[in-house]
Amino acid sequence: MAASGSLRVEALSKNYLPPGCPPVPVLHGVSLAFAPGDYVAVMGPSGSGKSTFLALLGCLDTPSGGHYWIDGDDVAGLDSDALSALRNRVFGFVFQGFHLLPRATLLDNVALPMLYAGRSRRERHARAAELLAQVGLAGLERRYPTQLSGGQQQRVAIARALANRPAWLLADEPTGNLDSHTSGEIMAIFDRLNAEGLAIVLVTHEADIAAHARRLVRFADGQVIEDRPLDPAAATAESAP
């Protein structure tokens, strides 16, 4: 994708407005910058705002205050269609619950973002098959998500996230529903993708998963309390056995 995708947020805040109650602040005063190719783990206890932060970063939600620039462009000025285009081409999403469409084949699931990007049917199918092969699911194009294990479903979700060659992969607890062995396989794919230049922001509460990243951002009570580089060698050593 053309966008190199440097991301910067400043004094970002988000309030939830439960009906009939005073607004509940979830994030306040978050300022961070991410460079192309980054590999960032976001950690923090439940309710610390880390998932909300990821949703704001991926333009799934709009902030209550503060600024967000993608490649120097202020996101606040973009309309709904432009945000859709960003989600379609600049970001790829991987969720804890996989979120595949149950009635579509794996091939159609992976091809879906390309449908919204307006690519031809032939192009979509060729690329989707190639992506499924990349995540180790060659030959399963005609299967349905319910016929797969959790690990396989998450691989399909990763393939789908990569469909339009995004600059950023945003993952919210991608291994939260998986056993440790399968988690390791998924993280190996993430490591490889990052090595190939894809920037990754990964929300997790498992330290050994976070250890795959090169940078750790820790949230508590809606604020960043820690932001430090990680030693990639440690992660490699950890996942080696």
Partner 1 sequence: MFTTLIAEAMRSLGANTLRTLLAMLGMIIGVAAVVLMLAVGEGSRLRVAETIATLGRDILNIYSGTPAVAGVRTAAGSAPTLTRADADAIAQLESVQAVAPAHYGNTQLQYGGSNWSSSVFGSTPEFSEVRNWEVASGAPLDDGDLRTAAQKVVLGATVAENLFGDASPLGKMLRIKGQPYEVIGVFRPKGSNLDGRDQDDLVWVPLTAAQGKLFGNPFPGTVRFITVKASAESGKGVAERDITALLRQRHRLPADAENDFSIRDITASAESAAQAAQAMSVLLGAIASVSLLVGGIGIMNIMLVTVTERTREIGVRRAIGARRRDILLQFLLESLLICLTGGVLGAGLGVGGAWVAAEFFDTPVVVDLRTAVAAFGFSTAVGLFFGYYPAHRAAAMQPVEALRTA
State the nearest-atom distance from the C-beta of 234 to partner 1, in Å. Answer: 32
174 CB-near residues (< 8 Å, 6+ apart)? 94, 95, 96, 154, 158, 186, 190, 202, 204
Give min distance, CB of 136 to partner 1, in A.
21
CB of 73 to partner 1, least distance (A): 18
Residue with tokens 């929300």: 203
Which residue, 55 or 131, is less far from partner 1 as judged by CB? 55
Locate 10 and state its tokens: 């400043």
CA distances from 235 to 108, 173, 210 (A): 35, 18, 9
Of the pair 170, 186, the CB lying nearest partner 1 is at 170
**Quick check: helix, strand or coil at residue 29?**
strand
User: Which residues bind to partner 1, rule: CB under 8 A?
Assistant: 55, 58, 60-61, 80-81, 84-85, 87-89, 93, 95, 99-101, 103-104, 112-113, 115-118, 121, 160-161, 163-164
Q: Give the nearer residue to partner 1 in terms of CB position, either 59 or 199.
A: 59
**Three-state secondary-structure class, residue 78:** coil
The residues with which 223 forms a beta bridge, in sequence order, are 220
Choice between 3 and 216, CB closer to partner 1:
3
Shortest Å distance, C-beta 88 to partner 1: 2
